[in-house]
Chains A and B, each alone.
Chain A
Amino acid sequence: MIDLSGFFLSWPGRYLTQSFLHSLVAGAIAEVAVKAWGIARPSVRQRFLLAAIMVPAFTWPVFRIAGRSRESLAFRLDALFDSGRWLAVVLPGGITFGTLLLAAFAVTSVVFAAQELIPVLRHSFGRADDAPAALREGDDLRVMEALSGLPAGVARVHVIEDEDLFIFSSTGRDPAVYLSSGLLDTLSPAELRAALAHELAHVLRGRRPLMSGVFFLRVLMFFNPVILVEFRRAVQEDEKICDEMAVAFTGDPGALTETLRKLYLEDDEDPREKRSLAEIGGALERYSHRLNILSRIARLERGYPPPAGEDWFAFASALAAIGAVCWFVV
């Protein structure tokens, strides 16, 4: 049996364990708060998700400074949850629960590196000649007309010669929006305007220093499977926030819903028709994405609830509850 008690009692081990447990607590309480307070606006929901991402990064070091006896055996005995009990549990086969936890951290780290870190680094440090070959400036009359009335000077627009339908934006030092010629030929003027408004909203939101801080903390917690899930949920809420902003720019939610349908809902594949595991996995991911798009369309068609005055009180009470409960989770 591999004995990892020394590692889990070291400072890195305690940080890994407690930040993971605190993110579970924070995620659960944030979810309770969103449901109990009836939080519907994406910008407010994202605030709760970001709290569940950011707070666990700091709890252990802050608690350590605030109370050194917090990790004494006596405190652990009376705590709500003592990780030492579970980490020492021996499962059939002689594997401890602590070993399983480390394995989960390792898998999460690999997923994070492959799906988030490496693509971001490639994009950030990509060379100029990595840009698509068939690229032209967005001085097409249709693009110019679509941009009129939208925030000016936010990002350059480029058209990629490709008959597939896609549009995306890049933020950072040289923000830009890229759309395919196929999309340009498919969307109506109003729909093109809505699509560009959505991408410009992404560029505007990417400028906020808070988002850099959030991403830095997300990278710091690269091992944490709860943060992996919560961050992706926060990204999904960001899409809804950008929908909200796009509708505020254009005043035409219907155009955006049609754009989403044309971009993402044309191909209605059934995961059950796939044969191999890789095909099934890919189809399930696309199905999940499809459900997300349908949720966005439903929200656009329903309209957005007016801001509730108690949002900040709800957020403050959730933060207080997270702090209080996490103190007793060791």
Chain B
Amino acid sequence: MSQKIVVKELMGERCSQRLSPNGFRDGRFLRDVILYELQRNDSLEVDLNGIVVMTPSFADEAFGKLLYDYSSDQLTKQLKFIIGTAEPHIVNRINSAVSNRSAIIEAEKQKKQGNHFSKESVTS
């Protein structure tokens, strides 16, 4: 079964806050919605039509941190993005967020196992 989230309907065309004081229209809220839908559906379409602004913080909170619940392979399989009329740099934002968060998670794992990475070695 497949479902669709239209980001502009949930967040407006400007996605800026990682965490807002009232928890409304922030990155965490969108991530919660994505996680909720992924639990109930085999696949999920994330429609980015009309999004004009997405800060790095928002992209990390909404998409990067999905990696704490799903592996990269699972997300590639289950999550599809519809770019449409979204500003071109939005795709790069999301890709960078996921890539950097993946590196952070790897560094956290290494730290727990007793191997230490410097910040410079894990961020691109």
* Co-complex (A, B): no
Question: Which residues on B are within 8 Å of A, measured CB to CB?
Answer: none
Interface residues of A (CB under 8 A from B): none
